Every structure is written in structure tokens, then in C-alpha cells.
Structure 1
Amino acid sequence: MTQTTNDNSPAALLLGGNGKTGRRVAQKLRALGRPVRIGSRTGTPAFDWNAPGTWGPALAGVDRVYVTYYPDLGMPGAAEQVGAFAKVAVAAGARRLVLLSGRGEAAAQHAEECLKASGADWTVVRAGWFNQNFDEDFFLEPVRAGELALPTADAVEAFVDADDIAEVVVAALTDDRHSGRTYELSGPRLMSFADVAAELSKATGREIAYVPVSDEAYRGVLREIGLPQEFADLFTQILDGRNAYLVHGVREVLGREPKDFADYAREAAASGVWEV
């Protein structure tokens, strides 16, 4: 077990440390007394995936890294960038690398292999769709508007909570027993978007409707509001059922069940984020 808590201990670099999982990892590490460095273009020193000259300064004095890739591991060239960064990190002395990857995504798994090839002490955390997509990301405004109009038919997903992901990542960053392991994370049940709408309705006390639409119609909506057409492709992994089963990485690492969507929705509603 690695449990260094003094201020002179090496820092953990958190790439995307201001994001949904990154800021939660930062909070939990700081609560343990662990020094943290946020890896972002606004960080000090700055980190930019597209500017390799920023990697070395960001890694100075760092012995472990939480690796999240922006905008997505499925982007062309992402795997190669992750592999190149991993080699720089290991050479700089940051041998413990924890990668946030995606369930059922071939491109993400290619990035995993590129990271492993660096010779790092690695842990891979594979997650699917986050609960927090509904209050911190692209479904926030549709929930506020009371309608989720999406091209998902009756397909199901095992939505996972960002707090659970962060807790698993912290364990991987601080406990040597997780080196060389791949953990797949999901929530405790499979849910359709109709199920999600029902839970959101219960939590908010008002009707949140799920309206199934065609892929073509959804792409038309994206065009109207100025969002990239590629956004519609995110639903492919739900529609083809590749992640339509439960996995147990949360229980394996943390010794407890993952947070249920109903508990997430109740907590988020209490924060007022969905109030109109």
C-alpha cells in the first residue's frame, strides 16, 4: 500500500483534472493529504495534449498520473498520443499510470495497449455512460426542458456514477495491488432512457418525458442547434447492445455496490440543478 501524506511527497498529475471525474479524484486525493497537480491548458504549468512541449514541465516532480484524453479516446490519433505521453511520463519518473478508458470501444482499447507498451505500472478503468451526463453535460438542458428526445429506442445502458469512478481511480493511484489490472465499471442495473426519464420525473417532481426519435431526425436537431453531427454516433454503443450487461469493478475494488441512478437523481435534484 502506498500512503505517503507529507507535503514533500511527489504529486499526482490529473489530466483533465477539472472534468467530471478529474475534479472528484482531486478532491478525494487532497482529503487523503496527497499533493495534486491539475493537468489542463489553464493549469500551472499548463498541459495540452496537442503541445508535447508542455508534457515534460507538467510531469516534473510527479510520480503517478491519472490519464484522461480530451476530447475522446476514439478520436483519430488519440491512441498514439496516449502512448507517446506514457513514454515521456515513465522517462520522467511517473511510472504509475491510471487510464480512464471506455467499455466496448475498440479505439479506446488500442489506446490502452499503447499506454501499456510504455513499460508503466498501469491500471485501466473502463466506464460507460455517466449518470452526470444528465446534470453536468449534454443532457442537462433537455432535462430542464422536460423532454429527452433521443435516437435510443428501447436500448438499455448500465449508467455509472462519476463518484464511483473517481473512488476506483483513487484506489488505483494509491494502492499497489491494482497495478496491472483492468476494471470495468457499471451501475447496479440496466436502464432504458424511458427508465431514466421515470427516475428523473420522480426526483424532480415534474414530468420528464422520453421521446424516441429516428437517427435522421436527431441529426436534424443537431444541425439546427449547431452541434456536430458526430454527436449522434455516441448512441451507437447503446443501440447495438455492446454494453447491455452489468460488470462488477466497483464491488471488486471498493467492496461495495455502485450507486444507483435513483440515488444520483435524488441528490442532483436536491442541488437545484434541474430547476427551471
Structure 2
Amino acid sequence: MTQSTQNPILLIGGNGKTGRRVAEGLAARGRQVRIGSRSASIPFDWEDRATWPAALEGTSAAYVTYYPDLAAPGAPEAIAAFVETALAQGVRRIVLLSGRGEEEAQRSEDILKASGADWTILRCSWFNQNFSESFLLDFVKAGVIALPVGSVREPFVDAEDIADAAVAALTEDGHIGQLYELTGPRLLTLSEAVAEIAEATGRDIRFATISPGEFSAMLASEGVPSDMIALLMMLFTEVLDGRNAYLTDGVKRALGREPKGFSAYARETAATGVWKVAAEPAVAGNDR
């Protein structure tokens, strides 16, 4: 790296599912972090490129997550502009969180690869934590997860594994120029994943397949903006079509260990109480 290890590492989306875990992992290694968000002391806003140079100034590396998703229109152009800005600021090491089976995401990957940066790409699909730290949390609490998905199997990956891989890529030299496709250790349908959550919580939670039209109408009724509905429809009806129904050794390659399984995630998350509903009595030993 061309800059001191004492310089902070910029984490774009540093308060998100992976970003906050990357921040914790870097802190454990004694590294300073700078959170890249609109509310940060040095703000970063994907929609305001004038904020980018100040957020990058004096940093040694950047972990890049794009909001709302690399599959969104305009994402490759934004990534290209960001990488150009980062290199102009002297930041060469860039770790990009990408999406499996997403054409626009792979366009962004290609842009980063060709940029001259010291790059690492973490290509992932469905996070375990989508059930506990995303909009599906409300579905789990309600006891019914209704999505326009059938019996497609997904290689659910844990956000802790993604974060550990990002920390390694940001702080170690052996990951430069590597694309890690990260998956969990087994394939599960959404119905099977929900059944594991039900078992871990001891609650009656079920999965229901609904039509794309029903899903779109449900999102609209909850006030979800039309552009976000379009993105979610694409992710659920196109990317969740079986194209990612295979496992990889990305976690083993990046970290030298096996990935975390969904059952362990479900048990550990249930123990935090996040999936309990207000009417349920507390389970001894589960409160923190």
C-alpha cells in the first residue's frame, strides 16, 4: 500500500449489514475507519459527487457498497466515477461488494478491474441477515414470509463471512486482483430457510409463494417508492431464477476456513430475541 496503515479506511455503507461488521473487524486489527454515509462528519453521498473527494482524502483504502444495488440503473457509471476519484486522491486499494448473477454488477466489476486499482471483488447473493436486518424481519415477526419465489435453491451466505473477507482484503496483500464468489456451505429454498428459522425460534413461521403482481401491489401499499419496487421485482423475479444455485469455495479461498451455515445463523439470531413478537414471553437465557 502506498499510504500509511495509520490512515483510515473508508467504508461506504459503513452502517449497513456488512459495513458495520467490517468496521468492527478493522477496529479489532487496530485500524482506523471512516464511515462513508450522508450523516457522517465527513459526508459521502452517492448522489452528490462533490462529497467524494473529502471523504476519500487521507484514506488508505476503500470498501465500496453501492446503494441501492449494483443492479440499479446508473450503478456502473457511478462506480467508474468513484474509482477515478479514488485513484486521483491516491487511494489504490478498493474492495467492491458485488452481486452474483447481476449483469450490471459485473459491468461494475469490469470497470474496477480495468482501472489500475489494487482491487478485490466480493461477489455474493442472498445474505442470511436479510431475514433479521432487512425488510424481511417484519415478515418473520408476522409469521408469514410471502415472496414471488418458488422452489429455487440459494447458497445463503453469512454477512460475518463477507465482512471477514473484506477485512482481509483491505489489510493483507495476498488478496489483490482476486475475485471471491462467496456462498454458504449448502443450498436452501426460501421455504427451507424459513423452516429453520421457525425451528430455531419455536414459532409458527411459514413461507408462501405469491405472484409478482401481488408482491408489487403489497410493496406499493406499504409506500415503497416505484423505483425501489422495480429493483426488488427484478431481484426477486430475475436474479432468483436458479442462476446462483451452486456452491463455491470463495470463503475457503479468502479466509482458509469453511463458511458459516444457515442453521448456526438461525440459532444464534434467535437467541438475540430479534425475531420475538411482543406478545410472546421471554425465553430464559435468550435475552441480552
Q: Structure 2-normalised TM-score?
A: 0.91
Whether the aligned pair in 2 keeps the contact of 1:156 and 1:238 (CA below 8 Å) is no
Q: How does 1:1-276 map to 2 (within 5 A)?
A: 9-227=6-224, 228=226, 229-230=229-230, 231-276=232-277
SS state at 1:98 partner: strand
> Structure 2 CA distance, aligned partners of 1:272 and 1:205?
12
Task: Give the superposition deviation at 1:79.
Answer: 0.6
Cα displacement string for residues 33-71 of structure 1 (whole angstroms, at most 9, x for unaligned residues): 001111111112111111111111111111110011111
Cα displacement string for residues 163-198 of structure 1 (whole angstroms, at most 9, x for unaligned residues): 000000011111111101100001111001110121
Cα displacement string for residues 232-253 of structure 1 (whole angstroms, at most 9, x for unaligned residues): 2221245421101111110111
Task: Give the superposition deviation at 1:72.
Answer: 1.1
Cα displacement string for residues 51-96 of structure 1 (whole angstroms, at most 9, x for unaligned residues): 1111111111111100111111112111111111111111111100
Whether the aligned pair in 2 keeps the contact of 1:155 and 1:238 (CA below 8 Å) is no
1:46 maps to amino acid = P
> Structure 2 CA distance, aligned partners of 1:165 and 1:38?
18
> Structure 2 CA distance, aligned partners of 1:154 and 1:257?
26
> Structure 2 CA distance, aligned partners of 1:237 and 1:27?
34
Gaps of 5+ in 2: 278-288
SS state at 2:9 partner: strand
> Structure 1 CA distance, aligned partners of 2:21 and 2:197?
23
> Structure 1 CA distance, aligned partners of 2:75 and 2:91?
20
Task: Give the superposition deviation at 1:20.
Answer: 0.6
> Structure 2 CA distance, aligned partners of 1:100 and 1:165?
9
> Structure 2 CA distance, aligned partners of 1:223 and 1:40?
27
> Structure 1 CA distance, aligned partners of 2:137 and 2:92?
37
Gaps of 5+ in 1: none
Task: Give the superposition deviation at 1:104.
Answer: 1.0
Deviates more, 1:136-145 or 1:221-230: 221-230
Task: Give the superposition deviation at 1:98.
Answer: 0.4
Whether the aligned pair in 1 keeps the contact of 2:102 and 2:239 (CA below 8 Å) is no
Cα distance change of structure 1 residues 237 and 264 upon mapping to structure 2, 3 Å threshold: farther
Cα distance change of structure 1 residues 179 and 140 upon mapping to structure 2, 3 Å threshold: same
1:57 maps to amino acid = A
> Structure 1 CA distance, aligned partners of 2:128 and 2:238?
16
Cα displacement string for residues 100-138 of structure 1 (whole angstroms, at most 9, x for unaligned residues): 000111100101122223211101110101100001101
SS state at 1:62 partner: coil
1:164 maps to amino acid = D
Cα displacement string for residues 176-222 of structure 1 (whole angstroms, at most 9, x for unaligned residues): 11101100001111001110121011110011111112222222222
Cα distance change of structure 1 residues 238 and 194 upon mapping to structure 2, 3 Å threshold: farther
Task: Give the superposition deviation at 1:223.
Answer: 2.4
> Structure 2 CA distance, aligned partners of 1:238 and 1:81?
22
Whether the aligned pair in 2 keeps the contact of 1:104 and 1:237 (CA below 8 Å) is no
Whether the aligned pair in 1 keeps the contact of 2:148 and 2:237 (CA below 8 Å) is no
Whether the aligned pair in 2 keeps the contact of 1:14 and 1:66 (CA below 8 Å) is yes
Q: Percent identity?
A: 56
